[in-house]
Structure 1
Amino acid sequence: MKNKLSRRDFIQNSLVAGIGISMVRPLTLFSIPKKEQMKLGLVTYQWGRDWDLPTLIANCEQTGLLGVELRTQHAHGVETSLSPAQRAEVKKRFADSIVTCVGYGSNFEYHSPDKAALRENIEQTKEYIKLCKDIGATGIKVKPNTLPSTVPREKTIAQIAASLNEVGKFAQDYGQLVRVEVHGPITAEIPNMKAIFDQVTEKNVKVCWNSNELDLAAPGFAENFDMLKEWIGDTVHIRQLNIDDYPYQELLNSLSTINYSGWILLEAGEEVPDRIAGMKEHLSLFNSLKANITRK
């Protein structure tokens, strides 16, 4: 009986042939070296905003960005309005490809002093956690956005942490992570994020490092990274490597010191003439950074 070649294997083999990788070093472009297990993927924030799901998966297969964080309210249309059959179809599309559905990128936030608004964000987070489970994802991205000036800072920080603990506990029953993006003009300040996570008790609630300018504020990148490193999960967001002066090499060096083996997700916001070419270029740039990782 002949061995059948799965579609996943067929695509993997086709990619290898298409990019002309030698037999001496197979899968160099897409493989993960034993020393550094970080992988490059895509947040569909801008570059994937108008791609339906088959197109998104095909473009990621073509370019080698083999993990995807699906952004809410984008053309791929992966929302809680999907029926059970539609959710199963999304899961199957990823299972039949070499692209991993890393998770879902929501806009849920927990800083509002309006109790009804806060409860709505918490309950909707729970519904999307169910969606993540159904489509084969491993977590949901949420974010704080600010600390309202009308409320004592400590009160809002405690409210955000308590909300994260509630949705984190809920997510455990679905095998999901809650990934908290370092986000917002005030909450992206690293000491404020640390103050939140000092009160987070659920182990599946993790930091999603977001490569913000505020990471470089006093006392400096290294010290700020150290403040949050114990909570960093399996997703890190980066911007465009060819136009941003953020210290990405230092970021990868620092991630290496904590044996980070998760996804580095490209959250590109600038328009480019050819997004496919841009994705391929970023894989090359990322691989160069990874090849030059040094540990202090």
Structure 2
Amino acid sequence: MQHDEVIWQIIRHNHCSFMAKSETEIFCRNSYNVTGNCDRSSCPLANSRYATIRDHDGVFYLYMKTIERAHMPNKLWERVKLPRNYEKALEIIDKHLLYWPKLLVNNTKKKLTKMTQMRMRTRKLALKTREKIMTVPTKEKKREARREEKAEKAAVLQKSIEKELVERLKKGVYGDIYNYPIDEYYDKIIDKEINKGAMEEEDEDPEIEYVEGYEELEEEDDMEDFGGLAIREYVMDDNYDGMNDKGRENRRPEKEPEAKSKKKANLLVEVEREDTSGRQRVVL
């Protein structure tokens, strides 16, 4: 037969593995405790008739213990699943704990209220986006810093080697080596240089040049004007002669316009020299 008072005196004054003391209060770490306090009415071990609320993956259950099952530890607790609706859950608690002590019923309802509020807060917090703070050990920071330094040095060395190889290829240092292996790496560098030159040519602004226009046309016009002048003079001379000498059968020979044109074509060119003889005239 179970004696609740004897069990309580042993637990309270001797030793209890679920007891947690603070400066002011004493708490109970047993998962079946309703209030969390270590007292006579809240202890699940020292009460043969007890009820509490527990959470299993977001589902609330009402746990009940009676004196009739004290001799069966594997069937000591009876549990009832509670709905998510708060009001319906309270109705089920009132139904199953109808003739139980009022203090125990009130503590059970208080625990249900607190757990429902906690579930609502966790849902709200889950919907919010929060920054996750990650701690990085100092050893990993130092290791990453050393790796970055080595990578930077290797990159600088690789760039200098690329420049040196490109300069040698431009100078023709490897021109006479026919068995030199042509690697894709060097082909890529040469393509980059060619593309770079093409891009620079495209980026340069086009040069603007001014050229004399209609040179050939002007020369042709001058020749036509010169020939037209000679023909005009020839026609005018013929007309004049025809008007004065209508009865004459012989006209002027056709070589006179050519002679006139030759006379007009003769130019006088003066050439200055620094000799004592002075200027000399040359007729062309």
TM-score (norm 2): 0.22
TM-score normalised per structure 1: 0.21
Structure with the higher helix share, 1 or 2: 2
Greater gyration radius: 2
Higher relative contact order (CA 8 A, sep 6+): 1
